[in-house]
Each structure stands twice: as C-alpha cells, then as structure tokens.
Amino acid sequence: MNALANQAELGHEQLAVFNPATRETIGSVPIFSAAEIAAAVDRARKAQPRWAATPVRERMAIIRRFQQLLCDQKDAVCEVITREAGKPLAEALSTEILVVLDGAQYLLDNVPAFLRPEHIPHSNLAMKLKRGTLLREPYGVIGIISPWNYPFSLPSVQTITALAMGNAVVLKPSEFTPFTSLELQRLLREAGLDPDLLQVVTGEGAAGVALLQANIDKMIFTGSVATGKKVAQSAAARLLPVVLELGGKDPMIVLEDADVEVASSAAVWGAFMNAGQTCLSVERCYVHESIYEKFLQACVEKTNKLRSGNGTDANTDIGPMIHERQLRTVQIHIDDAIAHGARVLTGGKPLTQLGPSFFAPTILADVTHSMAIMREETFGPVLPVRSFKNDDEAVALANDSDFGLAASVWTRNKSRGESLARRINAGSVLVNDVVCSFGISEAPHGGIKASGIGRTHGRFGLEEMVWPKYVDSDQMPGMKKLWWYGYGPGFRTQMQGFIELLFAGNFTKRVRGGGKSIKSFLGRKPR
C-alpha cells in the first residue's frame, strides 16, 4: 500500500476501497487518467524489447523468486485478499495462493521447451530441400482487465504467463479489489522485475476503456458478457487480438447411480464457495428423478450447517458478497423463481444481521428453464435444482444455455460419465468433481458461446501470449526453383505429372506421373 500512498501524494483523485464484510474503508487508490494510462503503456513498450531479448533462463529465475516470495508471504497476501474480496482466509489460500504457486511451477517446468525453435517437417516432395522453423514471438504489451471475484489468482496467472513469454503487462484491476493486484506488483518487483514491465493502473470503468484504447498489442479481459461484447467491438475496430473470459452458467448432472453423499457435498461447495461468486460455480443442478428428493434433503442438511460471516474468522464458511448491487441481482432471481413455482428449501433472503452484503445460502427446488435463475448468471450463493428422467434429457438441459464454460457429471460408472461429458457443450467437463479445473495448471481454462473467446492456463494459455513466426531456409540457394516462370505447356505437363506422382490413386498412375513430370522438367528451364 506504500506505492499507493506515494501516488496519492501526487494529487490524484482518489477512489475509496471498502471491506465488503464490514463496509469499513480499507484505503484509497488513485484514479488514473487516460493520458497516464497511455504513458504507462508507452513505458512498458520501451522496456519490453530488452525483456524479450533476456535469456529465458533469466526470465524464469524471476518467476522462481516470485514463487518463493509468495510462498513465504502467503498469509500476508491472503489477508489483503480477504479484506478486499471478503472470502474466508482458508479459501484465499486454496483458490488464490495455491493456484498461483502451481501456475508459476507450470511455467518453470514448461516455458523453456515451449519457446525453443521448433523444426517443421515438409511432406511436400517439392519442398524437401527446405528447412522450416517455427518461432514464438511475444506480442509486446499485453493489457489485462481483471475482475474482483478472484483478485489474485486470475490476474497473477495471466500476468506471469505474459511476462514469461517476453511481454510487458499493464494491468487494470477491479475498482473493488485493487490492493491485491498491487501485492502482485510488489512481489514481482521484489523478485527483480523491471518496474516498467508490470504496471498497475487503478480506477473505474473509464480506466479500462483507456487501457483498451491505448497502444497495447493484445487484451485479456475477464468479466461480464455485456462488457465483454463492448471490449470485442472496440478491439475489432483496430484488429486488436483478445482473450475474453465472460462467465458461465455451469450445469451439474447427477445420475441415478451417483454417490448422493459425495455429490450433495460437491453441489453445496460448488454453489456456495466464494459466496457463489465464481464463474465455475454450480449454477444449474440436474438430478435423476429416482434420487431427487434424497439429494435435496442431503443438500439442505449440509447447507444449514454452513456458517456465514467475516472471512477473517477461522470458523467462517461463506463470506459476504462483494457489494449490495450483486446481492440485489441474487434476490431478483430468487423472487422470479418463486413467482414461477420454485420452492425455497432453505435461505432465500439477506442476512441483514451480519451486514448489508451477506446473503443466506439458498437451495431452490423444482426450477425450470423459464426462470431467470436458470438462464442468466446469478453469481451468488444459490443452488437451483430440478429433476430429469434419462441421460438424453440431462444432456439437453445442460446444453440449453447461452453459456458454455464448464460442467460436471456425477456417476459411479467412469465410462458412462466420460461418454456424457463428450456430449456436453462446455470448455471443461469434470466427472465426479466441480470447479477444480481452474486449479489444474496444465488444463486450458475458457469456454464457448457467451462464455468467451480464447484460453488461459496450460499450453493453450501459453500460445495466447505469443504469435507464431515461420522461418524457412532453402538448402540450395543457387538453384532456380522448378515452379518459377516460364510456364508454357511444358510446365503444365510437369505439374500434372508431379501431382499424379504424389496423389494418384494407384501405384501405376504414380509411376507414370513421375515419368511425365521428369520428362517435362528436363525439357524446360525456369527463368
């Protein structure tokens, strides 16, 4: 926070940051102007070529030092996360710190080999005298606009991946959780990173617009569908490449042979962790009719044992929602569901005795797809459940959504679960687990349809941070190529025979084509 204090002294207009559990003011951050954000991008651009030219092992050494610093200071960073985002400290450790440490390890283990020049073989006989190489080049300056729900793990993994590839980063965090991104910046600078290579610019929506309009080379945006569409439209006007992670409405399918005890625990955790404010949350739950009531009963019993409160309390299971506006969305969805026939089995209302941002974990039964709670992203502690009759109906219900981020299937039959997983339209489908795909650094994270464009994490996440350059070297530089001018009848006959040599349907035609091509070749000279 010292860096922010220094910026405050420069006379910036300030933006107050609040603890969602207590509504107390944590502090304030400067509101960067468009000119200041453009200047930050320019500084990053000037520093980036030196960084890209730095040997990969030296870049990885900084990532390794960052990893060790984060491990050593994990509790202090968790306190900042919980103070800003409200989630329990233990959850900050498991879903934020652990994810970033493992993400750093993935980079350490894989980036050197990934960035090595890759030999490209030539199957075309006409190209056998060439040697091709694929290089992966950094874009330059990556702009990152990050949300509040995972204020450390989301921007950190994206940032260190971009840096490892040789890019510079300008990061605009959510106005609700800026101090956490400043912790990321502090740790990387302590690890030895040039300050110009990662710059955090704070402010509200206008700061994000300014970053998108600045001289960046790629944008990585995580947020709502509505804002993501605006980002895509603005980027398209200048052909700026983007990665968009726009949330989900993730289905959970519980088959009749599932372990109800295990699946109900997964549903409760998957729906309520981080107060349901997770793009991978279980937001739709489909349970086979034969175990429907038993499953609901188990979920209600487990939900009623959960403890809501301040995330700094070690006994807290569910913290506050980030702000009252998000809480109102949850209430609107629940009220709409009730009005259309859904049953509230537990919860359904704010916990005003704890504060204005707390909402009781809620289970709704007998929901239908005519209800907003099954169509729109709720992003709150609600588990809506309905029954289904057979596998085909379950898959149809799961795929009946504008979103396609993640899903899960629950069954004791692994083959059956994996077979159903292949039929579900989602970027990730887990069999007998929920949410955890984000914590698997090797697995790509992202979705289809309204859930976004592109991927982070894993090899696909590495590919998003570079552009491919193909370099080809001819091994016979003193020889004119056979396909150069002049053409004439001889060249046409040569090409006809050559194509037949390579692709004719039987051996005899290939031999004849080869002879025809050679004869024509010997009778002509390229100019």
436 given a catalytic annotation: no
CB atoms within 10 A of CB 371: 22
Q: How far apart are CA 346 and CA 359, in angstroms?
A: 12
Q: How far apart are CA 357 and CA 228, in angstroms?
A: 26
Q: Which of 96, 183, 279, 377 is catalytic?
A: 279
Instruction: Describe the strand order of the beta sheet including 382-388 as a list of residue ranges.
Output: 343-346, 362-365, 382-388, 282-288, 250-254, 406-410, 428-431
Q: How far apart are CA 338 and CA 489, in angstroms?
A: 79
Q: Is the peptide bond before 486 cis (omega within 30 degrees of 0)?
A: yes
CB atoms within 10 A of CB 142: 28
The sign of the dihedral angle between the CA atoms of 388, 392, 395, 400 is negative
279 given a catalytic annotation: yes
The sign of the dihedral angle between the CA atoms of 517, 522, 526, 527 is negative
Q: How far apart are CA 223 and CA 98, in angstroms?
A: 22
Strand partners, 343: 365
Give residue for tokens 């350059």: 469
Of 64, 69, 76, the closest CA to residue 179 belongs to 76
3-state DSSP of 333-393: HHHHHHHCCCEEEECCCECCCCCCCCECCEEEECCCCCCHHHCCCCCCCEEEEEEECCHHH
209 — alpha (psi -120 to 50), left (phi > 0) or beta?
alpha
Q: How far apart are CA 387 and CA 365, in angstroms?
A: 9
Q: Which of 36, 245, 283, 500 is catalytic?
A: 245
Q: How far apart are CA 263 and CA 471, in angstroms?
A: 52
The sign of the dihedral angle between the CA atoms of 447, 449, 451, 455 is positive
Burial 449-473 (b: 16+ CB within 10 A, else e): bbbbbbbbbbeebbbbbbeeeeeee
The sign of the dihedral angle between the CA atoms of 509, 510, 515, 516 is positive
Kindly list the catalytic residues. Answer: 245, 279
